[in-house]
Structure 1
Amino acid sequence: MTHLDPTGVRAKMQFLYHLAQMHLQAARSQAALLELEKAYACCPDPALNIGDKSLMPLRELIRTALISCLLGLSREAIAAKQYEPAERWLSQLFDYPPLTTESLFLLGSYFYERGFGEAAETYFEQVLAADPIHAEAMRMLGDTFYFLRNDNVRALPCYEAFVRLYQSNQSVYNLLGHLHYYLTGDIQMSLKDFERALEIQPDFKTANDNLMMGLLKDDSLNQAGIFERACTTMTRFLNHSEYGKLRPMVYVVDRDPERRLHIGYLSSNLFSHPTFYYLYPMLKAHQLTEIDVSCYSSSPNQDHVVKNYVSQLPGINFVHGLNETQLADKIRADRIDILVDASGFEANNRTMALLARPAPIQVSYMAYINTYGLPPGVVDYILTASDLVEPHEQAWYRERFFHLEPYCVYARNDHEWEPVSELPALKRGYVTFGVFNQLAKITDQTLQAWAEILSQVPESRLMLCRDKLDWPAVERRLVQAGMPLSQVQVETFAYSKYHLCDLQLDTFHYSGMTINLDSLSMGVPVLTWPQVNLTGRMGGHINRVLGLEVFNANSREDYCQKAVWFARHPQVLAEYRLTMRQRLADSPLSDPDAFAKGLEAAYRQMWRNFCRA
């Protein structure tokens, strides 16, 4: 009789392997792991030239089962946030070399989950070295750069590669839209990305919000076009989402036109966000002897602005944890008479709560300076100024215009301004034009105008100040516009960079607002060309309020001619620079008490209109 297994090793290995399979079928993974470890130990590593090499196929089968078991246990532990056992099982993977791409991917995922970007990057790159078309590793590497490494420029090609491999991930298309928006300024590509995300998931609110924000930067749309796109975009979204089922509340209202009013402000930007610097001085200036005020912050941020300023606001409510229905119920229970939405479609907004009509009068202000595109009757008014809209443009808004003068007040309460510097052109002998706006606001038409200005003033420089940008993509846009790159310098943003700038060039179609006011605070005037839509007129409105109409152009040609003239007359810029900060301080833009009084009068008139209806 021939003994096929004289030592009994094969039989033992098979027995332990089958025992492990039985444990796995009964969902006893840890028990299975113990049996597999014993089975694997029965056969030494053949590299040591010991043991029966005929056992190697069985040994490899057991190794594969071991790795699968360790991966399964690790995934379960990571999902349950049980990191200590997860680390133990992950470390055991190294006992059964070589590491598989699946093992490397899970190691990267673990470090991503724990927030260790450098380690996550290392393992995802190892996966891609072994398998260049591993779509999920490409996506996770992009997420690592974007969320953990704060490196949007390196994230962009990862996401672009991912969608080439796998074209059905709405979240990645949404992130791509965001990156194209901020890193390259390619607004058309950005809008296509958001549209693609919504094709895959029509009720994807974040993508819909981003699309609505992006529409305002599309210079192929006039105000009529923005209105049409906004309405069709919102109608499509509401038809596919649960928000479309929200219906107006029914309640009894005391229609006394002169009674004390309760004003509610809803905002997702009550933290270190530009909108805060408009809302805060206004809210602090409200005369609480005349009205009651409640504030609803839907932001999860808890930065120094929240702790030092927002927490001190009258009637502050932190409502990030409430959904739209719960928030509407709270606003209604608080008996708000006029609800002012200062979120629009910014991140963490609760604008859809307005569909439940929690207040008799609902108003749009500040964050989204255009029509919401929501069904008629949801938002009653949009606060504007007389030079921001024309009477005939009311046809392109579902909200009625209510004018303020000025449109806003502004104060960076948490910022101490540096002294205004001497005009740099007087020392350098040439003028430096500054650009501080988002890349998405810089249209091709704007770039072409800037290229023309630089060609007429060849000794001048254009300083582009952005924290992060995809320079190769931006460079292509500059070259296509005819921009002389030798006259362009790129700087990371800091307030001190205003000291290097003689004149800021505003963007067309969507002008600056906060950037313009910051520039003026640092003594730098802003050359602007008011456009044929509300968002394109804000720079001109600010200049008019300050008596700086000389910096408002009436055409593209006038814009270029003014830039060239100021570049050749630096002494004029120097004179404006010396008085600019005081001019701003003495203006209505810096008088929150007067502004709040005018705003309260506007609310009273809205209420009287409501009571008469």
Structure 2
Amino acid sequence: MSMMHNDATAAIALHEAARHLSAGDQEGALQILQQLITQQPLHGEAFAALSDLCSLLRRWELLTNICRQRLQHLPNDTETCCRYAQAELGQRHYLRAVALLEGVVRRAPGHAAAWHELGRVMKRLARLDEALDCFHRAETADPGNRIFQDSLLFTQLFSDACSPEKIAAAHRAWGRNFSPVTWPEALWRDGDRITVGYLSPDFREHSVASFIEPVLHHHNRHRFKIICYQCGPEQDATTKRLCSMVENWRDITDLDDASAYDLIVRDGVTLLVDLAGHTAWNRLPLMALRPAPIQLTWIGYPHSTGLTQIDYRITDTVADPPGLSESLHTEHVVRLPAYFLCYTPPADAPQPAIFSPIQQSGVITFGCFNNLAKITPTLLDCWRSLLDQVPQSRLLIKGEALDDPAAQAELLKRFGLPENRVLACGWTPDRISHLALYNQVDIALDTWPYNGTTTTCEALWMGVPVVTLTGTHHASRVGASLLTSAGLEFCVCQSAEEYVQRAAELAGNLPLLQTLRRNLRAMLSASPLMDGSGFTQKLEKLYCELVSTNSAQ
């Protein structure tokens, strides 16, 4: 009788919590679920619902306490340990999360989700080989899981141990999971506006938004009908701003592929442009259904998608010189006549410092604010050589994982850089404080083989020159494209030796550093990299050429 009473009580409480959630009362739902879990600490559904809500609200300390209490009753319970790891990760306790997840996969080696989460943490800690191994194990344990497949493909781009050919082969193998589809209908009637759809989960404060905004703002509405298809759950002020720039906005986040396909077909989209590739919340399986006669990929992913159903990949002659990378693509490579990116800086960006930091500190400060996972053994060799060549210098590294003192100590020891010459900075609370940190940097160092994109533009906007090292595939040549577009070709290096030498030369040229500090923002504003109108005209010309070419076939 007592068990039946408990079940009935729990059912009522869960129903009430769901009702509060549907009404937007998240705190009310939280209180109900907390009361229920206090009364019935082993109730699985209540624990799952409360954990999900804590994660949604980022109530990490509460989730930590709930997990600890539950583990007192269920020691080493795998699901509880996974939730506990999530709570620790939310508080940026990276090594604690690693210990919990390693315990789970040790006890349950087939736990695919735990392997995947462990891979995500390893990637944040720049333990790339271990991250790739974890993602491989997750995909092996759950072969059909697209999220696991995407993580494995995407993370290969960060590694200097994965050749461009190996990465391309992995993407092609993934793409063969989807059947070829042809478009049987006529494309476009002469005189009609061309309907262009942009598909992205990142119409928000995100790197992609910095490069799609000038295009949405400058599109010719007389010749083009623009539709944005949002496929990610996060919305913010940037979302509202971008939405105001287009006449049609569709949120397809909760639509399955078949329903989204029908919507795009009904909208009469001629060109559908993917802006995500294999990044989070992508809809590549939707692209594989071919809801539009001409399909492209651009901006959001620095590699071929592996899908033959995507016809073209937009790039330029610097990022993808003719003959260099065609064999790495399933898409046809189409090059804009100038450069493939156009940047919009944050409106609230602080002003660059009047003086270069060395003028106050007497020490050159190199800096890297890129994703820590992009810091590879090849790059570390360069940095060690650079610090040797420039004795009066130091290196400022920024990354979220550096907030965790234990993780920071482990990471810096593994990097093998001289501790007394490395400054570590963790999470910054907002974009303004992030950008203001560039006022402590004299020269930014790009990563390799996965170059920075937004980080490079941000550094330039803050008056900081960036030195980049090029490679033989797109991800390793984006820096060259950006710097060439900005008029800083002398910062583009073809070898590791040149990369070190160029950074050292800049460090020894204080008048040039000061000139760049004062003038880079104006240079950038006047460069093709920020010519939104001119760039969009070139992009529209390409769209028209593709429509004409495909209509004639």
TM-score, scaled to structure 2 = 0.88
Task: Indicate yes or no: 2:121 matched with 1:166.
Answer: no
1:369-380 paired onto structure 2 within 5 Å: 369-374=302-307, 376=308, 378-380=309-311
**Between Structure 1 and Structure 2, how many residues are aligned?**
528
Alignment partner, residue 157 of structure 1: 99
Deviation at 1:319, TM superposition (A): 1.4
Task: Supply the AA of the counterpart residue of 1:133.
Answer: N
1:337-416 paired onto structure 2 within 5 Å: 337-374=270-307, 376=308, 378-392=309-323, 393-404=325-336, 405-416=338-349
Deviation at 1:234, TM superposition (A): 3.8
Deviation at 1:85, TM superposition (A): 7.5
SS at match of 1:461: strand
Q: Would you say the 8 A contact 2:386–2:503 is kept in 1?
A: yes
Task: Indicate yes or no: 2:484 matched with 1:539.
Answer: no
Alignment partner, residue 26 of structure 2: none
1:470-549 paired onto structure 2 within 5 Å: 472=406, 475-476=409-410, 478-492=412-426, 493=428, 494-549=434-489
Alignment partner, residue 66 of structure 1: none
Q: Alpha carbons of 1:231 and 1:473: their partners in 2 closer, same or farther (altered >3 Å)?
A: farther
CA offsets 1:221-248 (integer angstroms, 9 cap, x no match): 232221112112343xx3xxxxx47x73
Report the Cα distance in structure 1 between the residues aligned to 2:546 and 2:105, rounded to whole angstroms: 49
Task: Supply the AA of the counterpart residue of 2:209.
Answer: F
Alignment partner, residue 220 of structure 1: 161
CA offsets 1:411-446 (integer angstroms, 9 cap, x no match): 135434324431010111110000110011111110
Alignment partner, residue 120 of structure 1: 63
Task: Supply the AA of the counterpart residue of 2:61.
Answer: E
Instruction: State the percentage of identical aligned residues.
Output: 25
Report the Cα distance in structure 1 between the residues aligned to 2:365 and 2:411, rounded to whole angstroms: 20
Task: Supply the AA of the counterpart residue of 2:477.
Answer: R
1:49-448 paired onto structure 2 within 5 Å: 70=6, 72=7, 76-77=11-12, 79-80=14-15, 82=17, 91=38, 103=42, 112-115=51-54, 116-128=59-71, 133-146=76-89, 149=91, 151-152=93-94, 154-182=96-124, 184-235=125-176, 238=177, 244=178, 248=181, 251-254=184-187, 256=189, 259-374=192-307, 376=308, 378-392=309-323, 393-404=325-336, 405-448=338-381
Report the Cα distance in structure 2 between the residues aligned to 1:536 and 1:501, rounded to whole angstroms: 23
Report the Cα distance in structure 2 between the residues aligned to 1:231 and 1:81, rounded to whole angstroms: 48
CA offsets 1:272-313 (integer angstroms, 9 cap, x no match): 111011101111101111222111111222212123333442
Q: Alpha carbons of 1:485 and 1:287: their partners in 2 closer, same or farther (altered >3 Å)?
A: same
Q: Alpha carbons of 1:605 and 1:91: their partners in 2 closer, same or farther (altered >3 Å)?
A: closer
Alignment partner, residue 20 of structure 2: none
CA offsets 1:56-96 (integer angstroms, 9 cap, x no match): xxxxxxxxxxxxxx4x5565456545468766665556xxx
Report the Cα distance in structure 1 between the residues aligned to 2:8 and 2:213, rounded to whole angstroms: 51
Q: 1:463 aligns with which of 368, 388, 396?
A: 396
Report the Cα distance in structure 2 between the residues aligned to 1:441 and 1:459, rounded to whole angstroms: 26
Report the Cα distance in structure 1 between the residues aligned to 2:512 and 2:183, rounded to whole angstroms: 61
Alignment partner, residue 591 of structure 1: 531
Q: Alpha carbons of 1:210 and 1:90: their partners in 2 closer, same or farther (altered >3 Å)?
A: closer
Q: Alpha carbons of 1:380 and 1:309: their partners in 2 closer, same or farther (altered >3 Å)?
A: closer
Q: Which runs of 5+ in 1 are unaligned?
A: 1-19, 31-69, 94-101, 239-243
Q: Alpha carbons of 1:80 and 1:311: their partners in 2 closer, same or farther (altered >3 Å)?
A: farther
Report the Cα distance in structure 2 between the residues aligned to 1:128 and 1:385, rounded to whole angstroms: 55
Deviation at 1:561, TM superposition (A): 1.4
Q: Would you say the 8 A contact 1:257–1:608 is kept in 2?
A: no
Q: Alpha carbons of 1:295 and 1:126: their partners in 2 closer, same or farther (altered >3 Å)?
A: closer
CA offsets 1:377-414 (integer angstroms, 9 cap, x no match): x0111000001113322122111111111211111354
Q: Would you say the 8 A contact 2:230–2:249 is kept in 1?
A: yes
Q: Which runs of 5+ in 2 are unaligned?
A: 18-28, 429-433
CA offsets 1:339-393 (integer angstroms, 9 cap, x no match): 111121222221211111111110110101211112x3x0111000001113322
Alignment partner, residue 56 of structure 1: none
Alignment partner, residue 514 of structure 2: 574
Q: Alpha carbons of 1:120 and 1:292: their partners in 2 closer, same or farther (altered >3 Å)?
A: closer
Q: Would you say the 8 A contact 1:111–1:117 is kept in 2?
A: no
SS at match of 2:400: coil
Q: Alpha carbons of 1:89 and 1:474: their partners in 2 closer, same or farther (altered >3 Å)?
A: closer
Q: Would you say the 8 A contact 1:73–1:89 is kept in 2?
A: no
Which structure's relative contact order is higher, taking Cα pairs within 8 Å and 6+ residues apart?
A: 2
Report the Cα distance in structure 2 between the residues aligned to 1:85 and 1:341, rounded to whole angstroms: 42
Deviation at 1:503, TM superposition (A): 0.1
SS at match of 1:402: strand
Report the Cα distance in structure 1 between the residues aligned to 2:516 and 2:480, rounded to whole angstroms: 17
Deviation at 1:606, TM superposition (A): 0.9
Task: Supply the AA of the counterpart residue of 1:329.
Answer: D
Q: Would you say the 8 A contact 1:296–1:317 is kept in 2?
A: yes
SS at match of 2:296: strand
Q: Alpha carbons of 1:610 and 1:87: their partners in 2 closer, same or farther (altered >3 Å)?
A: closer
Alignment partner, residue 62 of structure 1: none
Q: Would you say the 8 A contact 2:214–2:344 is kept in 1?
A: yes
SS at match of 1:292: strand
State the structure with more CA Rg: 1
SS at match of 2:103: helix
Deviation at 1:156, TM superposition (A): 2.9
Q: Alpha carbons of 1:77 and 1:140: their partners in 2 closer, same or farther (altered >3 Å)?
A: farther
CA offsets 1:76-129 (integer angstroms, 9 cap, x no match): 456545468766665556xxxxxxxx6599997675355254343224334546
CA offsets 1:555-607 (integer angstroms, 9 cap, x no match): 11111112222222222211121110000000011111101100011011111
Q: Alpha carbons of 1:568 and 1:310: their partners in 2 closer, same or farther (altered >3 Å)?
A: same
Report the Cα distance in structure 2 between the residues aligned to 1:169 and 1:339, rounded to whole angstroms: 37
Report the Cα distance in structure 2 between the residues aligned to 1:120 and 1:256, rounded to whole angstroms: 57
Report the Cα distance in structure 1 between the residues aligned to 2:311 and 2:467, rounded to whole angstroms: 34
Q: Would you say the 8 A contact 2:303–2:474 is kept in 1?
A: yes
Task: Supply the AA of the counterpart residue of 1:141.
Answer: Y
Report the Cα distance in structure 1 between the residues aligned to 2:9 and 2:103, rounded to whole angstroms: 28
Report the Cα distance in structure 1 between the residues aligned to 2:229 and 2:481, rounded to whole angstroms: 29
TM-score, scaled to structure 1 = 0.80
Task: Supply the AA of the counterpart residue of 2:99.
Answer: P
Report the Cα distance in structure 2 between the residues aligned to 1:544 and 1:224, rounded to whole angstroms: 26
Deviation at 1:449, TM superposition (A): 0.9
Alignment partner, residue 548 of structure 2: 608
Q: Alpha carbons of 1:588 and 1:108: their partners in 2 closer, same or farther (altered >3 Å)?
A: same
CA offsets 1:441-490 (integer angstroms, 9 cap, x no match): 11111011101111222221100011334555564554455411110011
Task: Supply the AA of the counterpart residue of 1:218.
Answer: S
SS at match of 2:396: strand
SS at match of 2:542: helix
SS at match of 1:158: helix
Q: Would you say the 8 A contact 1:342–1:366 is kept in 2?
A: yes
